Amino acid sequence: MSNHTLAELASVRMGATLRGRDATRPDPAGSFRLIQISDLDDRGGFLTQDFTRVSPREAISSSVVLRPDDILFPNRGARTTASLFEGSDSPCFVGAQFFIIRPSSRKVMPAYVAWLLRTRDATDYFDLHRRGSNVLTLQKGAMEAFQVPLPSWEIQHAIVETDRLHHHACDLESRLAVLRHLHLEETLINRAHRP
């Protein structure tokens, strides 16, 4: 296994800079969809696929129009999450409060990088490198210098799949807990009504 900086494996760029109050105003007829931080959960998932349609007044550079396997990482605030963009039916972009990480090496799985960026080690690293008093920000240089351990493709795949199964199991356990609660409540209500 070897270590690389993120910059050796991927490009890191800011999202689009949008100017003016109306820049992110929803427009049902808009030609672009805008992904916002509120669209992401802490586990790297998307809370919706129905991202807000907008009509930017300025041209959106093709370099910030999202492609499948781009990784979105908020660069403002204390939140550490990374989401793998898998595509959409319309062109999508993000604002400058995101880094767009675009893997450029065939040695690394985008899903592996997204997983690594959500780990406790990554959180500790980013906490150490955020700057600012009112709004914490993470500089591009710190993002690019993040160290990526690079195991074989097979091990990367196993890590990603194990993480996916773990989260699926957690979801099932949560649903089971709700069902147990409802069953117990119904049993107790029936008992209360029994003569």
pTM above threshold 0.75: yes
- Contact (Cβ atoms closer than 8 angstroms) between residue 17 and residue 97: no
Beta bridge partner(s), residue 54 = 32
The answer to whether 69 and 84 have CB atoms below 8 angstroms apart is: yes
Question: Exposed, middle or buried, 59 (CB in 10 Å: 0-12/13-18/19+)?
Answer: exposed
The pLDDT profile of the chain, 195 residues, written as one tens digit per residue, is 788 999 999 999 999 988 877 677 888 888 899 999 999 988 888 998 889 999 888 888 999 999 999 999 999 988 888 999 999 888 999 999 999 999 998 889 999 999 999 999 999 999 999 998 888 999 999 999 999 999 999 999 999 999 999 988 998 999 999 999 999 999 999 999 887
Token readout for 43 is: 């586990």
